[in-house]
Amino acid sequence: MDPKLNQTQSQKMQLSPQMREYLRLLHLPIADLRLAVEEALEANPMLEEVSRSVEIEYPDVTASKPKDIEDDSGDGEALSGDWTDKEPLLFPKTPIDLSRRNADDLQKIKDFQETLITRPESLFDYLEWQLHFLDLDEKQKKIAEQIIGNIDQDGYLKVSLEEIASEAKSTIPEAQDILDKIQKLDPPGIGARDLREALLIQLQRHKTGTTLAKEIVQDHLGLIAKRDFRILSKIFNASEEEIKRAVSLISRLEPKPGRSFYVEEPIAVTPDATISIKDGTEEGLEIEIHNELIPEIRINHEYRSLMRDKNTDNKTKEFLRTRLASGVDFLKALELRKSTLRSITEEIVRAQPLFFTRGFSQLRPLRLKDIAERLGLHESTISRAIHAKYLKTPQGTIPYKSFFSQKIETEDGESESQKSILERIRMLLEKENAKKPWSDQAIVRLLKEEGIPIARRTVTKYRELLKIPPSHLRRN
């Protein structure tokens, strides 16, 4: 086949650089947005930070608000909106002192702050420290280090003795001897290879009254989970009271010996907005979008004047013109992000007013599609806008996404949200009689009495989402 050229015409919508910038900033939570603004200040000389006391006239973004955005992949889908206005911002005529701390001062502060941070002791550190109290020769120390180096955060040894012996160039009996020594260290149960061994190690430390408990753990852990005291009493020819005492002892043991050394990484949540109840009212709500953490920026007046100076060479002018265009695009995208987030927050408040005054049980069904239709935006834009963002409310600081859930039709024709039903199930189980806990079928009946008909398998699914065990495991 001979090669040939064919010329065709086609139409497709492409995302402009301005819109790409808007979608990028829209996706960022407030902490990351602050970093993005600081990076823009460093990268673009046409942008500068201004004092909060100075009023800045921003471009009117209402005229350029996108009516439709379809951007699941970010690689060119439908959108519309006028982004052609490149007129720079207006500025005060009087110069402003924009002095900041110098780099050396900032580094000193950072170094000082880092010296105040102490690293919590890890399980490995604690075990390594205890090795100093064991009378071990060099070969035994290597075996011990191999063992504690392969203990996971729950306190379990995750490799076989064969692997330990191979790595330490020793024999399996030698590795077993060192493991026995390590299993006598703290925390109790450390170095076990499974739950059964962890519980038996802990029971060994009890001087008396553990014989029955050891026998149960050795061969019948499954019956403990089912709390089947009747069968256990037959197996061990003991009364149910004796079985219950043994199981009670077992239940007080630690199934994860390394749990006390868990280090939870603190998650600093900075809300993007706050909803508060107006003073002196029961249902009046106020919305505050948090912008105080974001530096106020504008186009640099001096560089703008330099660009207009006749004595400035063309190459410099072209560089400044390019930076001016990208700077204005960034400012417009930043302001449009604020406008979009405020609009979404207002719609959430309008759709979920009772939640803010009464709690999660009053959450109404709400879909991304509902908000998108009201604002004239695409669902992907709403999804992008609420990503990793939090809202401070009278009920606590919660993710934006918590306000959205599917609809479930009730008998009276109204709709309930999944999350409100989850909350009702949780409240029902909190009030149940611990001696006679409700089965999933009983919960179905109770919800039906409230006008919410759902299947038993749905109740089971919701109960598992709430991490609540079945009725036979809740029975006390």
Q: Per-domain residue ranges for the chain?
A: 14-68+267-404, 123-261, 407-474
Confidence bin at 104 (pLDDT 50/70/90): low
Per-residue model confidence (pLDDT) at position 475: 74
Give yes or no for residue 88 having a pLDDT over 50: no
Question: Mean pLDDT of all residues in the chain?
Answer: 78
Average of per-residue pLDDT across 108-121: 48
Tell which wins on pLDDT, 344 or 68. 344
Per-residue model confidence (pLDDT) at position 92: 37
Give yes or no for residue 325 having a pLDDT over 70: yes
CATH class, range 407-474: mainly alpha
Average of per-residue pLDDT across 295-303: 89
Average of per-residue pLDDT across 12-18: 71
Tell which wins on pLDDT, 233 or 405. 233
Confidence bin at 434 (pLDDT 50/70/90): confident
Range with the poorest average pLDDT among 110-119, 165-174, 452-461: 110-119
Per-residue model confidence (pLDDT) at position 279: 66
Per-residue model confidence (pLDDT) at position 131: 86
Confidence bin at 102 (pLDDT 50/70/90): low
Per-residue model confidence (pLDDT) at position 70: 43
Average of per-residue pLDDT across 446-458: 79
Confidence bin at 66 (pLDDT 50/70/90): very low
pLDDT digits (tens, 9 = 90+) for 347-363: 999 988 888 888 777 77
pLDDT digits (tens, 9 = 90+) for 192-237: 999 999 999 999 888 777 888 888 888 888 877 777 788 888 888 8
Average of per-residue pLDDT across 8-15: 67
* Start-to-end CA span in the chain (Å): 82
Range with the poorest average pLDDT among 9-13, 135-139, 159-163: 9-13
**Which of 18-27, 280-289, 334-343, 351-360 is most confident?**
334-343
Per-residue model confidence (pLDDT) at position 291: 82
